[in-house]
Structure 1
Amino acid sequence: MKKLLLLLAAVVLVFIILGTLGPLLGLAFALAFVFLGMHYYVKSNSVFSKVIWIFIGLIGLLMAVSNIPALVGLVAIVLLYALYKKWKNEDITLPIKEEDDPFTNFENEWSKITK
């Protein structure tokens, strides 16, 4: 019964993703505009070209804001990934290295100092 519910939820999520495919593609196109605007703004030297690239980046940002239904599609993609992991009986973990955590490093160094 549990596998049936997971399968039913996966089918519903696939339909949601397919329904929001247009806004997802629009969001990707808008974010490409934002990226290009930022990239070429940094590379440009003249004030006029910087203003043009800021304008292009703002157009991309406004396009991205208008694609709010794409957020539903993104959430559906994440939930479908979680259901896939649940189906395979795998844990969903975030790839965080403990040595990159400043608090863990502090605790390790503090324990070395107090010894």
Structure 2
Amino acid sequence: MNKFLLFLGGLAALFVLLAMLGPMVLLAVSIWLLYVIFKQFMKSDSTIGKIGWVIAGLIVFGIGLSNIYAIIGVAAAYGLYLIFRNFRSDRSEAKEKTIVDDDPFANFEKQWAELNQ
């Protein structure tokens, strides 16, 4: 039942991630453009140029602010990562237990270590 709930949660997170993929890309592009505008603002020597870069930065900041709900997509991606990691760790722990229990030398090594103490 636990794996089924993890699967349903992962499926829901995947759908949210796919729905928010466009705004996430636009938010990333606007953050990159803000960085470029800041670098150009710092390079500019004239006052008119600096005012122009500030206006361009405010426009790009407004575009980025309109895509701020893309953070929901980032949270969904992180949730999907956690669900996948938890799902994989359950599988690997079960696999390790069966291998260790079936290995006749594992018990021998454990008993030998107890005798040497």
TM-score above 0.5 = yes
Q: TM-score, normalised by structure 1?
A: 0.69
Q: Runs (4+) of structure 1 moved beyond 4 Å?
A: none
Name the amino acid aligned to 2:57: G
State the match for 1:18 in structure 2: 18
State the match for 2:80 in structure 1: 80
Cα distance in 1 between the residues matched to 2:68 and 2:85:
27
Give matches, 1:59-70, under 5 Å: 59-70=59-70
Unaligned segments of structure 2, at least 5 residues: 91-117
Q: Which has the higher contact order (CA 8 A, sep 6+)?
A: 2
SS in 2 for 1:88: helix
State the match for 2:37 in structure 1: 37
Rg comparison, structure with higher value: 2
Name the amino acid aligned to 2:17: I
State the match for 2:8 in structure 1: 8
Cα distance in 2 between the residues matched to 1:25 and 1:38:
20
| Identical-residue share of aligned pairs (%) | 31
Please give the per-residue CA displacement for 1:4-52, whole angstroms capped at 9, x wherever unaligned: 2111111111100111112112212221221111111112222222111
SS in 1 for 2:45: coil
Q: TM-score, normalised by structure 2?
A: 0.68
Q: How many angstroms does 1:89 deviate by?
A: 2.5
Over aligned residues, Cα RMSD in angstroms? 1.7
Name the amino acid aligned to 2:3: K
Bigger helix fraction: 2
Unaligned segments of structure 1, at least 5 residues: 91-115
SS in 2 for 1:45: coil
Equivalent pair of 1:23/1:70 in contact (CA under 8 Å) = yes
How many positions carry a matched residue from both structures? 90
SS in 1 for 2:39: helix
